[in-house]
Amino acid sequence: MTPKRRGPVRVLLVEDYGDTRAMYATYLRYCGFEILEAQDGLEALKVADAERPDAIVMDLALPRLDGWEATRRLKANRRTRGIPVIALTGHGLPHHEGGAREAGCAAFLLKPCLPDALAAEVRRVMAGTRRRAPRAGRRAPPRD
């Protein structure tokens, strides 16, 4: 599980095309997110393990290690399994979304994706993680 941090939501943006990564990173920063970057699946694994971001935006077609396998490895690692992964890809066939969800992605966005739609999806996914059950050692609030 990722430790609680104060401050902006930290997002790891994994995209191999520099111009695309820069566009999304710039817009997400403008929206108030703190952005970490990786350009392939192996780098994403290292950054996620070291930095423990709040969310990961993962391209699925990546060099060295694709986004599907990178997501599977993130979900198999106890230090990173709780980080929600949002797939952002040009792979638009119906089985691609199912494969991304089977790998562990919490959401699936198809490119081309407007930056404001990506920011909205990060916010939606983060809102969903905050509503999950309390962590061990914490008591749930009383129900009415």
Structurally, the chain folds into a number of domains equal to 1
Count the neighbouring beta carbons within 10 Å of the beta carbon of residue 18.
10
User: Which structural domain range is residue 100 located in?
Assistant: 12-114
Q: Is residue 59 part of a domain?
A: yes
Q: Is residue 132 part of a domain?
A: no
Q: Is residue 74 part of a domain?
A: yes
Q: Is residue 67 part of a domain?
A: yes
Task: Determine phi and psi for 10, rounding to 5 degrees.
Answer: -95, 125
CATH of the domain at 24: 3.40.50.2300
Q: What is the pLDDT along the chain (144 residues), one digit of tens a residue?
A: 445 567 899 999 999 999 999 999 999 999 999 999 999 999 999 999 999 999 999 999 999 999 999 999 999 999 999 999 999 999 888 888 999 999 999 999 999 999 999 999 999 999 987 644 333 333 334 444
